[in-house]
A and B are shown apart, each in its own frame.
Chain A
Amino acid sequence: MNFFGGFKVTFAKLFEDRVTSQYPSVKRPKPERFHGRHVLGRYEDGMERCIGCELCAGVCPARCIYVRGADNPPDSPVAPGERYGYVYEINYLRCIHCDLCVEACPTEAITESKLFEFSFTSRDDAVYTKDELLVGDDGQPQRLAWEDWRPGDDQHTSGWMRATSPSGSAAWEGRAAWSAELGYGVRAPELGQSAEAAPDPEEPSGHDAAKHP
């Protein structure tokens, strides 16, 4: 019979550390691959990455993404290639932050930030338009007035760069297989997965710059 064992347990808890963190004033660091609100990226030359292909809208299980593509104006193209995302809207009352849109995107245009603390006073406010999602001229995500950005929250806005083995091949571990972004250049792979990566005999050169120091 261990009837009194329970009393010992609760009494011992008195002297243990508390698990509570004082949330609004003290925030715990978020995980590296946290799924927050989306960011639309740009290439290093300032061109938008989105080509308006609607693959993200197609794959979205919550149907929260609305995309309409349009032909690039020939004299001042918005995105490289024929088409660009003319309308891009995400409804955050529906989004489940599954990141399937990020995986579906062929141009690494849509990625997720670590931001999850934002609230709205009306349903219309919950629909983020392209103006709000697109990174600024410096390549940084826009810090909207109703969002609570903390230092470091913008460091992992590119979800694509976190895929350390993009083709599913271990041989690609530690290789940056993604293109450069505005404001960041080519981002290095994550620490920990790249450090142990042995040099690939098939491709002896060309990616050294991307390796994590």
Chain B
Amino acid sequence: MNVFALDPAYIGGFGLDEALILIVKVIAAFAMLMVAVMLMIWFERKLIGDMQNRIGPALAGPWGILQTLADGVKLFFKEDLIPAQSDRFVFKLAPYLSLVPAVIVFAVVPVGGNFTTGDGTVSWWGNATYLQVADPHIGILLVLAMSSMAVYGVMLAGWSSGSKYPLLGSVRASAQMVSYEAALGLSLAAVLLSAGSLSTHDIVAGQGGYDWNLWVTGIVPFAVFFIAATAELNRPPFDMVEAEQELVGGFHTEYSSIRFALFFLAEFMNVITMSAIIVTLFLGGPDGPILTEGAAWLWGTVWFLLKLMVFLFIFVWLRATLPRMRYDQLMDMGWKVLIPLSLGWLLFLGALSIGRDRGWPDAAVIAVSVAALAAGGLLLRAAVRAGQAERQATEAAAAGQPAQGGVRP
């Protein structure tokens, strides 16, 4: 097994051709991602303006499309402040901890290739290769690992600022992101169950010909994954981390100049990569009708980008529509709804799959599973209720009897 993993181009030695292909891929992916982020920020501002009867950026370039570039240049030339109370090394490190995972995740996303009638390989200078930077065996685990790394960026940024609001923001961020990571992983397990592989290329190849995980695994894992991803991204309605009304700017309050720009970049890059991961996992990645015989791989890229755009639109739409959730509502939803739901659905899918292996009738498996899950759900609910009642009793006892409207000295 070589370090560059399963890409067919690297089978049988790593020579000049392979090195060139790798370099081209890395540069192309990086450039694409940067341009995409630039366009995404513009797109978000423009679209949210449209949704609020405004115009949005309109002066920099045609339709304001260069607004992000202008903002970037402006941020670059601003004063770079490091607070006196800060932990200087960690303060400087945090933006990169935020940005690097966002870039790395994109490396495992297949952005093109013919998966509908072919196996997704393309031929570059006589070498068969995948249209993704790398296809490691642990593909999806890398995604999870990197999204966990991103928590450090946010957490350390808030902690090292030496200031109250960033600290509060980062405490919220780490709690929120760790909580939703569980739901994210569990809903993802349903996909892995149906794909039987961690490699993103294999997952996409398994969905070829419209066997998309969206319906193969039922809608539930997709819905849970999407909600959890929104929370992971700290996007509205889960943007507690940078709730302007409560926390000034959240974890990046003390950041300015290019360091702030890096956080900003990472945030929007994460939106794009997470949308790409959703497309890869649930919507078959580049899978779609091949309309012309020549350049079949190009159609894969077209469909991939179209699906990506749909999710980018939805993320902006969510931001334009939904008010921010309260912190306890957020935690309730993560722990009491999404995690049990995705866990139950995973067990259900597992039972179904075992049942098919053994030749049991589907209807019986479904009936038994639903009954068992309902019983489990009721037990869980009873446990939650009992815990609540006990906590209230303890609190009432601790507060003494005059708690009702009485003013304590």
Contacts and interface: CB of A to CB of B under 8 A. Distances in A.
Interface of A: 6-7, 9-11, 13-14, 16-20, 22
Given A10-B321, A13-B50, A18-B54, 20 more contacts: A6-B321, A6-B322, A7-B317, A7-B321, A9-B321, A10-B317, A11-B51, A11-B317, A13-B51, A14-B47, A16-B53, A17-B53, A18-B50, A18-B53, A18-B55, A19-B53, A19-B54, A20-B53, A20-B54, A20-B55
Interface of B: 47, 50-55, 58, 317, 320-322
Contacts of B54: 18-20
B52 A13 contact: yes
A-B pairs, top 8 by smallest CB distance, nearest first, are A10-B51, A20-B55, A10-B320, A10-B321, A6-B321, A19-B53, A13-B51, A14-B50
A187 B310 CA distance: 61
Contacts of A10: 51-52, 317, 320-321
A13 B47 CA distance: 10
A154 to B, nearest CB: 31
Contacts of A11: 51, 317
A139 B243 CA distance: 56
A7 to B, nearest CB: 5
A6 to B, nearest CB: 5
Nearest to B55: A20
Contacts of A18: 50, 53-55
Nearest to B48: A10
B315 to A, nearest CB: 13
Nearest to B58: A22
Nearest to B322: A6
Nearest to A14: B50
Contacts of A19: 53-54
A9 B321 CA distance: 8
B63 to A, nearest CB: 13
A13 B322 CA distance: 15
Contacts of B47: 14
Nearest to A6: B321
B67 to A, nearest CB: 15
Contacts of B51: 10-11, 13-14
16 contacts: A6-B321, A6-B322, A9-B321, A10-B51, A10-B320, A11-B51, A11-B317, A13-B51, A13-B52, A14-B50, A14-B51, A16-B53, A18-B50, A18-B53, A19-B53, A19-B54
B387 to A, nearest CB: 28
B317 A13 contact: no
Nearest to A13: B51
A22 B322 CA distance: 28
A24 B317 CA distance: 30
A11 B320 CA distance: 9
Nearest to B318: A7
Contacts of A20: 53-55
Contacts of A13: 50-53
B17 to A, nearest CB: 48
Nearest to A4: B321
Nearest to B50: A14
Contacts of A9: 321
A18 B53 CA distance: 5
A181 B58 CA distance: 45
Contacts of B50: 13-14, 18
A11 B318 CA distance: 11
A110 B52 CA distance: 42
A7 B51 CA distance: 10
A17 to B, nearest CB: 7
Contacts of B58: 22
B48 to A, nearest CB: 9
